[in-house]
Structure 1
């Protein structure tokens, strides 16, 4: 959208002018003029989306403006690349470089094009004045500058697991389910979009009684373009089988085999297709002897009936009552204060807004999310209420009106982030990490006062989840969101915006990388900014050579995400021209195959900020040129089993905020990177160490971690331990992590007793602790602290520790703030509160409940 594009560009332009690089300075007058014109229009552009829905002329004007801004941004990027090349020239040659004849065509064309862009933008401003009668454009004042600031709530505030008014319906559905003794019982949840069908099914699916009753449970999100194979592969993933390469008959045979003698529950969520032969084939292949149940959610009653649901087993969710509507709204809008309003003057406005939602939960959550992120001022709430009324006048669908309003009220930087979701297929589960890396790579994330970019990206994600525009799918044990998705009605809004713009001549700058991608899409969109893997969970893209060969022709590409992609030949051969993509800031080879080594031309990418090679099992070495990529912010080489070492000189990457999978050199490997180099990484926030032998940590290096004053998350993983276990334990015991550590994970530790420094005195700010696998049998006596010094830990995970013998009373006494606990396969633990955690198959588990 135009205000998002302009906002991002103005941010980059201001930063570039402040840098005072030679090339940018030579065009300073044109860039300053461009900045001034765009800043004058920003106030108008904030409302342009709303205005253009009513005026076709404004729509065409804003699309032309967006294309011009994109072109100007490409010119600015070229200037900055030239400036970087200047800096690489030895100082004694710089005077010659200034007068290089090879620069003349670039300078002439750049100056000419910038003048043309400025003239066209000035003409657009005049057209807007004529068309809408706007005679004066004023720059954004301090109140409106909030567009450039992070959300009012920059951390995750609203708990998406909270529901209202579903208790009785959940019990009714459970009673139906428990009636099934043999055969396959079909239950339908039928209703309009936004009524909470999926939420109701999730309540049943995740219910503890239901979980205990069924041996197997499977959840399948059925998109409008599904295939039978996709459905069955999704079912098998829940049964622990990747099912790569099987045909339809083999897939169904496997499902039947896994479910033999088992009581099972299947949820088929959001089914649209009335043709039900696909379901009959799957249903016929399921065992019926021990009893199974299937829950179908759909908007179409005939779909449920054709899938075998009788009228007696159709549940039609009702609209929420007036009291439940207000309760749900309060839970969202006042989530920061526990759902209590606290502002009497806002209650009448809030209830007026809620009444317009017509009892639809999705609409209530959307407008509640808007209010959560607004200041509690009566005038601001009244403005939102009036805008909602106007939206409803144009579109009587309260869900779509509330979602449109929620989009309109987003700050510009969040609009850029939010629009990224339109690239993913329906019902796609997306990792937060992939989104955050994309946003950083394209410069969507506003950074102020030296704030870490990774933190700023997480704040953007929280800004969308707090507004209930993004749904949480999975969290880690400590409550951190790991994966997400968007509701199909939210996706409809984004798809409509994209298609509407493209039908009016807007060019495509972002493309999803899929197995069926035609290389002509790349050929006709050579100004792409992002080419991104959009495969669904458990699926891989099989990329034809014709497509892969086109990557290097998109010279303005910022983001190249090849994760979960399979190629017919080695990637380094396909990408031998990747060095031509001088604007690349983010590359992901995660889970890409086959990647044996990084393309040598990668060395030329001086603007690279994120490099992800995680889960590349065949990657054996990191080339030495990695240490010259000084803008690297994130380097992820986790789960690269064949990787032996890092090149010497890693300490030069002073901008690193995340270093994952670091394997230090042994004391006799002087040409490789030692752990001592880490002390230079002063911005490091997240570190994962992979250790094998004690001589990877020198006696003078045990205090290295104390230098990392930004470090919040530390993982120590001990790999392939054999006869070197004792010396490694001794060295780990001497390590000194920084006191400000927020989360610590210890994996495969070979010692029988926990490290000595793992205690509440050495780590007074630790909030989350995870210990997984290894030989640990006891906690060091210092672990339990003293009466005057106890842990502040809120979340604890103990997993696959078959020798660990400790008592619950000791844990409870030393961790009075503990509220989240995950205990799995630790058979020797004593007196743990089974009644609170539940005991199933050797697992004690209690998540997000107070002890």
Structure 2
């Protein structure tokens, strides 16, 4: 039967009779998908939206679309069915998503901001972001966009090329998405009027595209530019009087600043990594502006005072820019939902934290340079605890750690400075509605009290915690283990932590500590030596991903192996003293890299994929009988390790020196034959001086075949190539 996505599986026991009843229809729909994985996935997303009734699924099976003749290649039957099933408002959002250039990273908040600016979301002003989030999740549920796992909480998604082509074909009369160098692009611009236009261009490309090429597009409502475009000092934005959305990345738009204020209908202004030094002084006249983003604009240092006139402003982001002050009176912008990059100041010229107090509608807040705050009462006036809608919080100090993860200044941080910053953070206690917490650069000896006390507020909705550069903290937070929704903890660079004890795991309100935690990343804790977790302490029953990097642990605690029974993926890198990894019964993937003392990997009975990089002392691989794929990378290795004879993966990939590769290329007559000949498929590579995979050996056990472009007699410096087959 067609496999449904996990999010719609429901209760397996109660759904079983219904699933069995629909099995025959599901199989017929899968056949109509032609065996294409994407088509099956999209149809699964569609059927998840239907009631589990035979007539509902039969309507999908018997839809006339399946038998439509001469349908254009872009109109994939499955995607068309899923598209037609969308409510009209979500159709617009879906088509708009296909306009976004693939080379850029598109965050959920930006996409929803665009949808709001285009008028796709119809609701009260108070709930537009929530409605946009609902539409975004609907597209994910239907598998029309897919979360990128690199980013937490589905904040970034991708769209499959086939889905993108379909959507662009449907929207072709109103929207054009183009890459520089495409044939006929300039002709399309001059011969057809579009409502929406996106162009992406690589920085290295030069195709003569300039601002004047766009002049014919007088009716544009959306203009998205990713990559440089040639501009003259006389160029202006006034050629696009209908523009509602302007999004630029790596575009030098300084010449357009003077004319920006004339765009009376502009609602969305996004400028990323530009030479712009300031927004226009008359920006306050742009009464429709709802979304302003100036990220990575390093020449921007201040905001014009007239920005306080933008009563409709919902989103303001100048994270990673050089803006160091905001005009006094900022608290009048009470419509703000998202505020990132707010610089904490105390000099009296610019507004301070107390002007955050009246901003009660905030859903997302980012404050930086908190080391500048010397009076804790100023932090208290921000009234974070009263912001009942606040779900995302970013609290940043400027980092005092160097590239090695240690404090840069030899003098360190005084005890008074540590107490001062801890007091400021104590007053920044958020409301229990918080879902995502990001703390960066904090240099107090202890974390805020609201993270370190049994009597601290219970953040029942908190799902993700990210903490970076905790320069002086000596202890991990001890009240996280009781949080019922916490799924993801990431701690990077905490050089003062040497021990993690039972206080981290002690549960006060739940049978097991961290009952819903799925990912734990602890990296850059360069002095961490001990992790206490005995087998009798129950914790992390749902943990799936563990990442450990750059610490001094010798082994992982026995409690982890005993109780983290859902653990599927383990990564251990740059751990100077780690000597063994053992007894993880559920692990499916393991990556170990640059662990100089690692000697043993044993008793991982379900391990399917193992990647090993530069672990020179590793000599025992035992109890990994399910191994399917082994990847080994070590350019200093002179011979294949002895453990190769103890494992039997189906696929083995080796990245090694040319000297070792030459020995392998000798085949049956060479010294390495007994260590790899029992493996079904072997691919071995050695780099040339440009670090490209020039030399190779390809081996198959049955029928026995060895293909290589390395001759056994050549030296490592010889550029001569040869190919031989041994069978």
After superposition, the Cα gap between the structure-2 partners of 1:559 and 1:794, relative to the gap in structure 1 and judged at 3 Å, is same
**Residue in structure 2 matched with residue 528 of structure 1 by the alignment:** 220
The farther-off stretch of 394-403 and 358-367 is 394-403
**Residue in structure 2 matched with residue 440 of structure 1 by the alignment:** 116
Aligned positions of 1:545-564 closer than 5 A: 545-546=231-232, 549-564=235-250
Counterpart among 739, 742, 748 of residue 441 in structure 2: 748
Whether 1:354 aligns to 2:50 is no
**Contact 2:101 2:200 survives alignment (8 Å):** no
SS of alignment partner, residue 474 of structure 2:
coil
**Contact 2:393 2:438 survives alignment (8 Å):** yes
- The CA deviation at 1:342 is 5.4
Aligned positions of 1:396-407 closer than 5 A: 400-407=76-83
**Contact 1:366 1:406 survives alignment (8 Å):** yes
**Residue in structure 2 matched with residue 582 of structure 1 by the alignment:** 264
- The CA deviation at 1:719 is 1.7
**Contact 2:65 2:81 survives alignment (8 Å):** no
**Residue in structure 1 matched with residue 295 of structure 2 by the alignment:** 614
Counterpart among 450, 459, 466 of residue 770 in structure 1: 466
**Contact 1:750 1:776 survives alignment (8 Å):** yes
- The CA deviation at 1:731 is 2.3
- The CA deviation at 1:351 is 2.8
SS of alignment partner, residue 343 of structure 1:
helix
- Find the aligned partners of 2:101 and 2:382 in 1 and give their Cα distance: 48
- Find the aligned partners of 2:345 and 2:30 in 1 and give their Cα distance: 61
**Residue in structure 2 matched with residue 636 of structure 1 by the alignment:** 317
Counterpart among 340, 344, 359 of residue 664 in structure 1: 344
SS of alignment partner, residue 258 of structure 2:
coil
Aligned positions of 1:490-509 closer than 5 A: 490-499=163-172, 507-509=193-195
Which digits, 9 at most, give the CA deviation of each residue in 1:80-113, with x for residues without a partner? xxxxxxxxxxxxxxxxxxxxxxxxxxxxxxxxxx
Counterpart among 67, 79, 91 of residue 415 in structure 1: 91
SS of alignment partner, residue 566 of structure 1:
coil
Whether 1:838 aligns to 2:557 is no
After superposition, the Cα gap between the structure-2 partners of 1:391 and 1:581, relative to the gap in structure 1 and judged at 3 Å, is farther
The farther-off stretch of 683-692 and 420-429 is 420-429
After superposition, the Cα gap between the structure-2 partners of 1:409 and 1:423, relative to the gap in structure 1 and judged at 3 Å, is same
Counterpart among 374, 397, 407 of residue 718 in structure 1: 397
After superposition, the Cα gap between the structure-2 partners of 1:547 and 1:576, relative to the gap in structure 1 and judged at 3 Å, is closer
After superposition, the Cα gap between the structure-2 partners of 1:595 and 1:496, relative to the gap in structure 1 and judged at 3 Å, is same
**Contact 1:658 1:687 survives alignment (8 Å):** yes
- Find the aligned partners of 1:676 and 1:796 in 2 and give their Cα distance: 30
- Find the aligned partners of 1:749 and 1:486 in 2 and give their Cα distance: 37
Whether 1:626 aligns to 2:307 is yes
**Residue in structure 2 matched with residue 131 of structure 1 by the alignment:** none
SS of alignment partner, residue 560 of structure 1:
strand
- The CA deviation at 1:396 is 11
- Find the aligned partners of 2:323 and 2:102 in 1 and give their Cα distance: 36
> How many residues are paired up?
503
**Residue in structure 2 matched with residue 682 of structure 1 by the alignment:** 360
- The CA deviation at 1:471 is 3.0
- Find the aligned partners of 1:693 and 1:425 in 2 and give their Cα distance: 39
**Contact 1:427 1:486 survives alignment (8 Å):** no
**Contact 1:697 1:731 survives alignment (8 Å):** yes
After superposition, the Cα gap between the structure-2 partners of 1:454 and 1:391, relative to the gap in structure 1 and judged at 3 Å, is farther
- Find the aligned partners of 2:519 and 2:587 in 1 and give their Cα distance: 6
Which digits, 9 at most, give the CA deviation of each residue in 1:513-549, with x for residues without a partner? 445544454321101000012x3xxxxx222124982
- The CA deviation at 1:629 is 0.5
The farther-off stretch of 722-731 and 622-631 is 722-731
- Find the aligned partners of 2:87 and 2:484 in 1 and give their Cα distance: 39
Output the TM-score relative to the length of structure 2.
0.63
- Find the aligned partners of 1:338 and 1:531 in 2 and give their Cα distance: 47
- Find the aligned partners of 2:436 and 2:588 in 1 and give their Cα distance: 20
SS of alignment partner, residue 447 of structure 2:
coil
- Find the aligned partners of 1:337 and 1:495 in 2 and give their Cα distance: 37
**Contact 2:326 2:350 survives alignment (8 Å):** yes
- The CA deviation at 1:774 is 2.4
- Find the aligned partners of 2:243 and 2:74 in 1 and give their Cα distance: 39
- The CA deviation at 1:428 is 6.4
- Find the aligned partners of 2:379 and 2:164 in 1 and give their Cα distance: 55
- Find the aligned partners of 1:840 and 1:513 in 2 and give their Cα distance: 40
- The CA deviation at 1:461 is 1.9
- The CA deviation at 1:392 is 5.5
- Find the aligned partners of 2:379 and 2:100 in 1 and give their Cα distance: 49
Whether 1:807 aligns to 2:505 is no
**Contact 2:246 2:269 survives alignment (8 Å):** yes
Aligned positions of 1:471-486 closer than 5 A: 471-476=146-151, 479-486=152-159
Counterpart among 471, 478, 491 of residue 798 in structure 1: 491
- Find the aligned partners of 2:28 and 2:173 in 1 and give their Cα distance: 32
**Contact 2:296 2:320 survives alignment (8 Å):** yes
Whether 1:648 aligns to 2:321 is no
**Contact 1:754 1:776 survives alignment (8 Å):** no
After superposition, the Cα gap between the structure-2 partners of 1:811 and 1:575, relative to the gap in structure 1 and judged at 3 Å, is same
**Residue in structure 2 matched with residue 825 of structure 1 by the alignment:** 524
- Find the aligned partners of 1:754 and 1:615 in 2 and give their Cα distance: 29
Q: Give the strand-richer structure, 1 or 2.
A: 2
**Contact 1:688 1:715 survives alignment (8 Å):** yes
SS of alignment partner, residue 613 of structure 1:
strand
**Residue in structure 1 matched with residue 278 of structure 2 by the alignment:** 597
Which digits, 9 at most, give the CA deviation of each residue in 1:327-371, with x for residues without a partner? 52x336834557956525544433332221232211111111111
- Unmatched 5+ residue regions in structure 1? 1-325, 536-540
- Find the aligned partners of 2:31 and 2:233 in 1 and give their Cα distance: 52
SS of alignment partner, residue 272 of structure 2:
coil
**Residue in structure 1 matched with residue 478 of structure 2 by the alignment:** 784
**Residue in structure 2 matched with residue 673 of structure 1 by the alignment:** 351
- The CA deviation at 1:566 is 2.9
Aligned positions of 1:184-223 closer than 5 A: none
After superposition, the Cα gap between the structure-2 partners of 1:564 and 1:549, relative to the gap in structure 1 and judged at 3 Å, is same
- The CA deviation at 1:401 is 1.0
SS of alignment partner, residue 261 of structure 2:
helix
- Find the aligned partners of 1:378 and 1:720 in 2 and give their Cα distance: 60
SS of alignment partner, residue 157 of structure 2:
strand
**Contact 1:564 1:590 survives alignment (8 Å):** yes
**Residue in structure 2 matched with residue 470 of structure 1 by the alignment:** 145
- Find the aligned partners of 1:457 and 1:738 in 2 and give their Cα distance: 23
**Contact 2:335 2:359 survives alignment (8 Å):** yes
**Contact 1:702 1:736 survives alignment (8 Å):** no
**Contact 1:529 1:557 survives alignment (8 Å):** yes
- The CA deviation at 1:393 is 5.3
After superposition, the Cα gap between the structure-2 partners of 1:384 and 1:508, relative to the gap in structure 1 and judged at 3 Å, is same
- Find the aligned partners of 2:316 and 2:326 in 1 and give their Cα distance: 11
- Find the aligned partners of 2:375 and 2:305 in 1 and give their Cα distance: 20
SS of alignment partner, residue 744 of structure 1:
strand
After superposition, the Cα gap between the structure-2 partners of 1:615 and 1:588, relative to the gap in structure 1 and judged at 3 Å, is same
**Residue in structure 1 matched with residue 640 of structure 2 by the alignment:** none
**Residue in structure 1 matched with residue 606 of structure 2 by the alignment:** none
Which digits, 9 at most, give the CA deviation of each residue in 1:668-714, with x for residues without a partner? 51x42121221211110111111122326436835711221111111
- The CA deviation at 1:485 is 2.6
